[in-house]
Amino acid sequence: MWDELQFASALIVSGLSIGLMYSLIALGFVLVYKATDAINFAQGEFVMLAGFVAALMLAPKMPVLVAIGAAVAVMVAFSFALERIVLRPLIGRPIIAVIMATIGLGAMLRGLPPITVGGETRAVSLNIGDMPIGFGSISLPPVQILGVIVTLAFFGLFTWFFLRSRMGIAMRAVADNQQVAMAMGINVERYFALAWAMAGTVSALGGVIWGSMLGVDVHLALVGLKVFPVVILGGLDSVAGAVIGGLIVGVVESLAAGYIDPYVGGGTKDFAPYVLMIITLMFKPYGIFGTHRVERV
Amino acid sequence: MLQRESGVYKTSYAADMALFPLPIARWTMAAIVLLFAVVLPLSLHEYYLSIINLALIAVVGALGLNMLVGYTGQISVGHAAFMSVGAYTAANLAVKFDLPFWITLPAGGLMAALIGAIVGIPSLRIKGLYLAIATLAAQLIIEWVINHTPAISGGAQASIQVPRPTLWGHELKTQGQLYFFLLFFAALAILAALNLARSRIGRAFVAIRDQDIAAEIIGIDIYRYKLLSFAISSFYAGVCGVLYTYYLGIANYEQFQIGVSIDYLAMIIIGGLGSVLGSVLGAAFVTMLPIVIRLVMEPLAGLFFSAGELSSVVASTRLVVFGALIISFLVVEPEGLNRLWRNIRNYFRVWPFSY
């Protein structure tokens, strides 16, 4: 009995910490969707790209902070360029155009590393050790604890930003109604760029943390597949939803892997979140915190 | 298709919607049929025929996806999963019950249509991005279920060996024989799609694409037509999967992973959404692309990469070119190859007296 409980609580804690790290990636998706209505199917590839930048910077023994700074800088620049060159011409076009453009972008990003820098798996070592840190009977690797701290920090920052800061309020206005925001003197294009820059920053840190956990290669992009259950559960345009959704997805997949895997022979981890997502779509399509859209004919 | 009319003289809807707008169109169609049915198989080498065979299979799948995405405006990222449903249905029927292809082929299509209609049910409540994500989930779930159900897939990571299709006691083995087999079904699929698009159903699809609430208000039962669109599209996908299985001789889940769904989406984007000709051109284009890339890359890449890396480099180059093509078509020519073809035709319509 005691063993059972301990097993379950270990699963739940590791699920919660992994879940928060999913939230970190999902935050990038939500920020962009919230502010610009654009859908980023290449979020996983963003994370991968950031991981590659960090790994390449760390290879010649650069300080960790420089590598993280470089990853952030590259991702912000990349997001700016993406918004300017690809997404701006697609404004006002059917939703499938943006979806396909980001899918195409994802394919490009996955194809580039093996051609340019080589496809082998690289390590991102953050110099924080890899001895699990224990709390009573439960222990977590330090990188997961770092991930939890970073996600919670970003969550606090974004909550403050959207509720209190002038720019955050302006960005909410842009998200709500672009034309009215424009009429109120808000530079909509600047806020689009800002939203992408924020998403780039989040993805960069996600890339560093996930990269140091899984190692950086093309398969790191698969993390992006977890973004969709997270954002659907939480609601596509809710920062809090991304965090809550991430926690739920993390726990569900951890429990599924712990209890169902032995019977079906593995793979439940990638499968359970999507079943959960389908159920959400059937009964509460806008998620826990998402805004209902009213459509005019 | 190739005719140059001097102006628009149509006075009735029937004339406007006719498959052959001018008498000469019949002759060009006859010439195209002659080209594909007689000239190509007689003149081309096996290797080139095998490429055309792959393109013919892709045409069927692309037509199905275009029916759903291009005509009805419902996004699906799970096309490959429906193909796998058809493929495994046919493979199991062919192996366990020893059924001939003219039973397994429609059976695979119908099974895929059923699963497709079930997957389409969420489309009644959600659309756009939400639907894209729901179909993505369907893709992953169907893939997982097939792979983890030994009764369907013959065990995890396994593949099922399928006998060659037989016609009047003859096994279709060579690329040349398979070519006629596939050409027949591709032509049938094109004809069916052309007629479907100009029928009442096709019109309803287009109305739903343009504004589904407005379509409902003018009396289109959008639930019925959305499900119908999913079913028809999945039927095509299932048939495409069956054809592919017979072509390869094995059913393997790796042939139907999410990358394939994206390939098909790329076909209809590059070819042109909501156009039969576009589906055909896009399917041909996307099928040829990796072959052309390999031809170009093999001598070039040898300078920079070792032989061991070559295959992964070619695969990666394909991804990059692919992504770049999707993005540039979306940004520069959203109506795809179909529009380019129309532009060329319009230019030559009054050539050489262009004004």
Domain segments of chain B: what residues? 44-257
pLDDT at A58: 84
| Domain-embedded: residue A5 | no
Chain B CB contacts of A219 below 8 Å: none
Q: Percent of chain A having pLDDT more than 90?
A: 12
Which pLDDT band holds residue B301 (cuts at 50, 70, 90)? low
Could B326 and A115 be called an inter-chain contact, meaning their C-beta atoms sit closer than 8 Å? no
Interface residue of A33, A82, A108 to substitute, partner B, most B CBs within 10 Å = A108
Residue B137 has pLDDT above 70, yes or no: yes
AA identity, residue B257:
Q
Chain A CB contacts of B316 below 8 Å: 110-115, 119
Gap between the Cα atoms of A207 and A197, Å rounded: 15
- Measured in angstroms, the CA of A85 and the nearest CA of chain B are apart by 9
- Measured in angstroms, the CA of A262 and the nearest CA of chain B are apart by 13
Residues 6+ apart with CB under 8 A from A147: A17, A20, A21, A24, A209, A213
From the list A111, A265, A285, the residue facing B316 with the nearest CB is A111
Gap between the Cα atoms of B140 and B117, Å rounded: 17
Q: What are phi and psi of B161, to 5 degrees?
A: -85, 130
For all residues of chain A together, what is the average pLDDT?
85
Residue A262 sits at the chain B interface (C-beta within 8 Å): no
pLDDT at B2: 64
pLDDT at B152: 76
Nearest to B221 by CA among B230, B212, B233: B212
pLDDT at A248: 92
**Is there a cis peptide before residue A114, judged by omega within 30 degrees of 0?**
no
A31-64 pLDDT per residue, tens: 888 888 888 889 999 999 999 988 888 888 778 8
| Contact yes or no for A43/A207 (Cβ under 8 A) | no
Q: Evaluate the CA torsion angle B134, B139, B142, B144 in order and state its sign.
A: negative
pLDDT at B48: 85
Chain B CB contacts of A267 below 8 Å: 144, 147-148
Among the listed ranges A64-73, B153-162, B188-197, which one has the minimum average pLDDT value?
B153-162
Q: How many CB atoms lie within 10 A of CB A101?
A: 29
Chain B CB contacts of A87 below 8 Å: none
DSSP output for A132-197: PEEETTEEE-HHHHHHHHHHHHHHHHHHHHHHHSHHHHHHHHHHH-HHHHHHTT--HHHHHHHHHH
Q: Percent of chain B having pLDDT more than 90?
A: 27
Could A297 and B217 be called an inter-chain contact, meaning their C-beta atoms sit closer than 8 Å? yes
| Domain-embedded: residue A63 | yes
Residue A91 sits at the chain B interface (C-beta within 8 Å): no
AA identity, residue B190:
I
Residue in chain A lying closest to B265 (CA): A100
Interface residue of B263, B331, B332 to substitute, partner A, most A CBs within 10 Å = B331
For all residues of chain B together, what is the average pLDDT?
85
Stronger pLDDT, A106 or B16, i.e. the higher one: A106
Burial per residue of B145-157, b for 16 or more beta-carbon CB atoms within 10 angstroms, e otherwise: ebbbeeebbbeee
| Domain-embedded: residue A52 | yes
For A22, which DSSP code? Answer: H
CA angle A15, A18, A21 (to 5 degrees): 150
pLDDT at B8: 74
What value does the mean pLDDT take over residues B35-59?
A: 86
From the list B141, B269, B320, the residue facing A111 with the nearest CB is B320
Q: What is the ipTM of this complex?
A: 0.83
Residue B234 has pLDDT above 90, yes or no: yes
What is the domain count for chain A?
A: 1
Which pLDDT band holds residue B67 (cuts at 50, 70, 90)? very high
A12-27 pLDDT per residue, tens: 888 888 898 899 899 8
Residue in chain A lying closest to B135 (CA): A278
CA angle A273, A96, B284 (to 5 degrees): 105
A232-253 pLDDT per residue, tens: 888 888 888 888 999 999 999 8
Residue in chain B lying closest to A85 (CA): B331
Residue A279 sits at the chain B interface (C-beta within 8 Å): no
Q: Which domain holds residue A39?
A: 25-110+140-224
- Measured in angstroms, the CA of A96 and the nearest CA of chain B are apart by 7
pLDDT at B174: 78
What value does the mean pLDDT take over residues B46-59?
A: 89
pLDDT at B94: 86
